[in-house]
Structures are given as structure tokens and as C-alpha cells.
Amino acid sequence: MTMTVASATSVNVQQAVPFFGVTNMEASLGFYVDGLGFKMKHWWIPNREEDKPDGRVRWCWLELGDAAIMLQEFLPERQPKETLGTGASVSFMCEDALVLYRGFKSRGIQTRKRPFVANRLWVVPLNDPDGYRIEFASPTDAPEESELTE
């Protein structure tokens, strides 16, 4: 029996990992690691002269549960002129987004607005330091357009 191209592709694809170019790695790590609780699993600190080594992390792979993101700091001369993240958002599907929201809030993380219900999901909307839109979402039976009241 031979495997079709479609089934071979679906078996090979394991995970989608957003890759964000960031303007300040220190600020981004403060947000994702200290604020949201991601753990740094892999990183790159340049050591070749042509990579302009400065002893700082320039790329990293972060994980939270089974989710992951990659961050890479732009070199100063390669800073984009465009607004980062325009038109896209990343949604992390969770068991309970409101538990995460309370943890984020306790660590000083501000959301774009209060958690709300859309498409049968509690949505916790955030912007990272570069303006990338990220959301943590979990299934709910609460009425559409409900907002969390505390």
C-alpha cells in the first residue's frame, strides 16, 4: 500500500510555530517569559564577528505547555519601517484562558481589553511589546459578546 501525497503531508506536519521579528529582545523576553510564563528552550547568542556579537540572546524558542513561538531580534540597521504584526494574530488554544488571564494580571500584564466571548470561546487579547496581537482562548457556553466582570 502506498501513501498518498496528502496523507504523507498530514503525517509530517507536527506544529505551527509563529516566528516574530522583535525590536528589543530584552523587552520581549520580559513579556513572554516573566509576564506570560513561557520557558526558553533554545537560544542563540552570536559569537562570530560577522554576526556582531554582543553577548545577548538574539534568537530563541519559547514554549508554554505544548505551544511554542520563536523570537529573533532585528539588527539595528535592519529594523523594519512597517508596523509589525499588522493584519495577523496568533491564538493559543487553552483549557482555561481565564485562569491564565488572572496569572498574567497578577504579573502586571495588561490586556488590550477585558476578556470576552467570541465564537464560543473566552478570548484574552494581548499585544506584545512590538504590537503583535496574541490571544489565549478556551471553549465556553457563555453567551456571545459576554465580558468578564470582576
- The Cα–Cα gap between 58 and 71 comes to 8
pLDDT for res 136: 97
Q: Are residues 45 and 98 in the same domain?
A: no
Q: Are residues 92 and 120 in the same domain?
A: yes
User: Can you give the pLDDT of all 150 residues of the chain as single tens digits?
Assistant: 455 666 656 667 788 899 999 999 999 999 999 999 999 999 999 887 777 778 889 999 999 999 999 999 998 888 888 888 888 899 999 999 999 999 999 999 999 999 999 999 999 999 999 999 999 999 999 999 999 987
pLDDT for res 4: 62
Last residue of a domain, one of 58, 76, 94: 76
Contact 144, 116 (CB under 8 A): no
Range of the structural domain that residue 26 is part of: 16-76
Last residue of a domain, one of 57, 76, 95: 76
- Contacts with 148 (C-beta within 8 Å, 6 or more apart), sequence order: 98, 101, 114, 115, 116, 122
Round the CA-based radius of gyration of the chain to a whole number and report it.
18
Q: Are residues 90 and 72 in the same domain?
A: no
- Whether 3 is in a domain gets the answer no
The 8-class DSSP code of residue 57 comes to -
- Whether 27 is in a domain gets the answer yes
